[in-house]
Amino acid sequence: MLGFNCYQTLPTVAMALALLAGATGCEQLPGTPKQQGAAIGGVGGAAAGAAVAGEHHRLLGALVGGAIGAGGGYVVGANKDRIVNGDRTQAEQAHLQAQTAPATAQQALNAPTADLNGDGFVTMDEVVAMKQAGLSDQVLIDKLRATGQVFELTPEQQRYLTDNGVSQYVVGQMTEINRDVRDRLLDQSNGGVISRPPAQ
């Protein structure tokens, strides 16, 4: 695990990217703008991941880092221990599992919480699986709350969920679920993994 505060390195990353763009111009960089963004997103690991996710992923961005790209990846929730311990490898595994073996409606019906596989993370496929299982909005919210996890969503993740049938109401409520836990985590520091970004 890297022992640095990813938010303290953001100005350095931003400055380097600005200098690169200023020196060469975006039109001089190889690839399409989308490919350029993906390449830049992977350069700085956790720092770039946090920069890309920005305000939307202040806690989860430190976990999934540069592996997620601009959209924020599949991870939308994590329990306190995962965040405090900086379980980046497990977060990336959760992301990959969601990508390669998405949760099913049957799993959603059998699971007591929204963390359908009990790995300490909630991924977008798990939320969609609950919707596909026919669970009401209130049951979805109750299952999300029952995880005890902290939820953060990028605009791309919000769009993915609504495009896959999750109501705007549920998506809007997700960031309010267990908000007291989220606020406490943002106010504490743990080896640079958790910290509130500087005021702007």
- Nearest of 164, 138, 92, 149 to residue 116 by alpha carbon: 149
- The pLDDT, as a whole number, for residue 21 is 44
pTM over cut 0.85: no
- Nearest of 92, 147, 91, 159 to residue 114 by alpha carbon: 147
Contact 95, 63 (CB under 8 A): no
Conformation bin of residue 29: beta by default, left when phi > 0, alpha when psi is -120 to 50: beta
Distance CA(113)–CA(8), nearest Å, equals 35
Q: What share of the chain is helix, strand, coil (3-state, %, to 5)?
A: 60, 5, 35
* Predicted confidence (pLDDT) per residue in 120-172, tens digit: 999 999 999 999 999 999 999 999 999 999 998 989 999 999 999 999 999 99
Distance CA(171)–CA(158), nearest Å, equals 6
- Distance, CA of 147 to chain centre: 16
Contact 123, 149 (CB under 8 A): no
Q: Is the pLDDT of residue 193 over 70?
A: no
Task: Give the rounded percent of residues in the chain with a pLDDT score beyond 70.
Answer: 59
* Predicted confidence (pLDDT) per residue in 65-101, tens digit: 654 554 568 999 999 888 888 888 898 899 899 999 9
Tell me the sheet residues that pair with 77. 122, 151
Direct distance between the N- and C-terminal alpha carbons of the chain, in angstroms, rounded to an integer: 28
